[in-house]
């Protein structure tokens, strides 16, 4: 009987370990948020920028080089709010109210249209 209990305990421990590894959250960092729009609209990442354009990244001009349209910006903003709301399990209104500094650090520049 004791042997069966030990087997069940070991099985449950292994099962819990597998489930934990399957559902581990991605760390929510500013790099993660920036990579979303960089990969989607420019097919690059923050890591690529740091490796290939290290001097350029030290200036704010790289934001204008990798700017997006207003529609793309709005898509990114909605994605970021939804993702953070699910990640932190908080209402979207609360996330929007507290997104200010992260928005300034992570948001893409918007291309100016000449109308």
| Domain membership flag for residue 1 | no
Res. 21: pLDDT tops 60: no
- Confirm whether 99 is domain-assigned: yes
- Asked whether the predicted pLDDT for residue 23 surpasses 90, the reply is no
Whole-number pLDDT of residue 28 = 86
Round to whole Å and give the CA distance between 115 and 103. Answer: 27
Task: Note the pLDDT of residue 20.
Answer: 61
Note down the domain range covering 96: 26-106
Q: How many domains does the chain have?
A: 1
What is the model's pTM? 0.74
Distance from C-alpha of 9 to C-alpha of 48, rounded to nearest angstrom: 45
């Amino acid at each position: 009987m004791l042997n069966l209990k030990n087997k069940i305990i070991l099985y449950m421990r292994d099962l819990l370990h597998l489930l934990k590894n399957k559902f581990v959250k991605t760390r929510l960092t500013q790099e993660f948020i920036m990579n979303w729009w960089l990969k989607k609209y420019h097919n690059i990442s923050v890591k690529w920028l740091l490796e290939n354009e290290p001097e350029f990244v030290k200036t704010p001009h790289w934001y204008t080089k990798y700017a997006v349209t207003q529609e793309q910006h709005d898509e990114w903003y909605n994605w970021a709010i939804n993702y953070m709301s699910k990640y932190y399990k908080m209402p979207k209104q609360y996330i929007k109210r507290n997104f200010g500094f992260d928005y300034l650090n992570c948001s893409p520049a918007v291309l100016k249209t000449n109308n």
